[in-house]
Structure 1
Amino acid sequence: MSFPEFYEHVPRLRLRDPLAGLLGASADGILDYGYADAVRLAGHSCPTVAAAYWLTWRALTLLYGTALPVRGEIRVSFRQPRDEGVTGVTAAVVGLLTGAAGSEGFKGLGGRYARRGLLNFAATIPLELRFERLDTGARVDAAAYPQQVPADPAFSDLLAAVTFGTADAAARQRFGEIWQDRVARLLTEHRDDPAVFDLRVG
């Protein structure tokens, strides 16, 4: 499997998952995720998947500082309903990284390790998402504005050709290249740009 080279330049997220440790999935309970894992989950790489990954990385870094974030002990709320816009895609990536799940999630063992009910939607919050530590109540509100990173000028014409089936092999390849170029710029050149990634500690 070959991914674009820039994936390796996106910082990875290391967490401690007590449930993974307990059940022997990871001997030390440490799990390590990269952008490629989010792509594998979604089945594609796009600004939405990239923004979900990076907002989560940034939010957990703010919540835990130099300590390892604890997967399964983070509540995430979304301002929009699950089925509105790209909320569902974002929630899938956020859930992968944080362990948070909706009503379908893991019930827990003996009253511990529950993941169910840690993803909430249609919440009254100021930005798109809120990440909250269950142990301390510390929280970070977050939003991404990937539209601030424009696509290549050739994008619109190529998109039309791909959509209507008139693109040849070279045009399809070029379309994929400029699509990933925008994602790359979002995750490398603009990952610390407050106009693109807005995070506020509560």
Structure 2
Amino acid sequence: MSNHETTTADSPTQPTDETPWQYLANAEPIRIRDPLAEVLGMVPEHEPLVVTFADVAKVAGHACPAVAGAYRSTQLALERLYPDGYPVRSDIEVIVGGEPSDSGLGPMANVIRHITGAADETGFAGFGGFGGRNDLLSFGDVDASGRAFRFERTDNDTAVIVSFDPSGAGVDSDAGGGPSMQTLSKIVAGAADDDEARGFRKQWYSRVQRILDAPADGGPFTVEKTG
């Protein structure tokens, strides 16, 4: 088969990711069922879709601590909500703690939406309600510190709150080991040399990786069940 694999109805092999990544952090993929995808034959019944960190980086257009924090927050929440099986799209409701205009929250909400399918009023309404995920994501009050997200299973009303504070991974400031924003400005302006650019990117993705590798508790994340 050529390097440019194609997908047809008779050949359901997924195409390879041919994006020429130079730098990108790694994370365990998230597997999540989508009943509508199963009904339409995208995947076998009861088999999950696989969402990777590369997928959400493409959606965001970049990888950063906020994107990593949203990905890992969602991963931790789904692991707690579905300890014995795959999470299920259309059965997950999310409240993003804060307002869409709050710094970083819009992109973080988009990552959560991409993984869980949970959407605001613009989301897919389903076929006769089946497979719908509109009105499942909103912004509001979540009783937790830092960036906080409430995930709830609508099939059994169990819920968890995940709070995210990047300072727990030492990535909140240049003083905490972060890359120089002055160097970033030089890269954007085309004034940085190759060594400066490589050094900046290495530091940048080191921060992202530390967030993606963080445990459920004791670092930048706290996961708590709620009523």
Judge which range, 107-116 or 25-34, deviates more.
Answer: 25-34
Question: Separation in 1 of the partners of 2:143 and 2:111?
Answer: 21
TM-score if structure 2 supplies the norm length? 0.80
**Structure 1 segment 42-61 matched on structure 2, within 5 A:** 42-61=60-79
Residue 198 of structure 1 is matched in structure 2 by: 222
Structure 1: gaps spanning 5 or more residues: none
Question: Separation in 1 of the partners of 2:62 and 2:87?
Answer: 26
Identity %: 33
Q: Is the 8 A contact 1:14 1:69 kept in 2?
A: yes
Residue 22 of structure 1 is matched in structure 2 by: 39
Q: How many residues align?
A: 198
Pair 1:2 & 2:27 matched: no
The alignment partner of 1:198 has SS state of strand
The alignment partner of 1:109 has SS state of coil
Q: Alignment RMSD, CA only?
A: 2.0
The alignment partner of 1:111 has SS state of coil
Determine which structure has the larger helix proportion and give its number.
1
Residue 192 of structure 2 is matched in structure 1 by: 167
How far apart are residue 44 of structure 1 and its match?
Answer: 0.8
Q: Is the 8 A contact 2:96 2:149 kept in 1?
A: yes
Q: Is the 8 A contact 1:75 1:131 kept in 2?
A: yes
How far apart are residue 13 of structure 1 and its match?
Answer: 1.0
Q: Is the 8 A contact 1:155 1:178 kept in 2?
A: no
The alignment partner of 1:84 has SS state of coil
Residue 40 of structure 1 is matched in structure 2 by: 58
Q: Is the 8 A contact 1:76 1:100 kept in 2?
A: yes
Question: Separation in 2 of the partners of 1:4 and 1:153?
Answer: 16
Q: Is the 8 A contact 2:93 2:136 kept in 1?
A: yes
Amino acid corresponding to residue 171 of structure 1 in structure 2: E
TM-score if structure 1 supplies the norm length? 0.89
Question: Separation in 2 of the partners of 1:153 and 1:135?
Answer: 42
Pair 1:143 & 2:160 matched: no
Question: Separation in 1 of the partners of 2:89 and 2:22?
Answer: 26
Structure 2: gaps spanning 5 or more residues: 1-19
Structure possessing the higher radius of gyration over alpha carbons:
2
How far apart are residue 69 of structure 1 and its match?
Answer: 0.5
Amino acid corresponding to residue 89 of structure 1 in structure 2: P
How far apart are residue 4 of structure 1 and its match?
Answer: 4.1
Question: Separation in 2 of the partners of 1:12 and 1:154?
Answer: 27
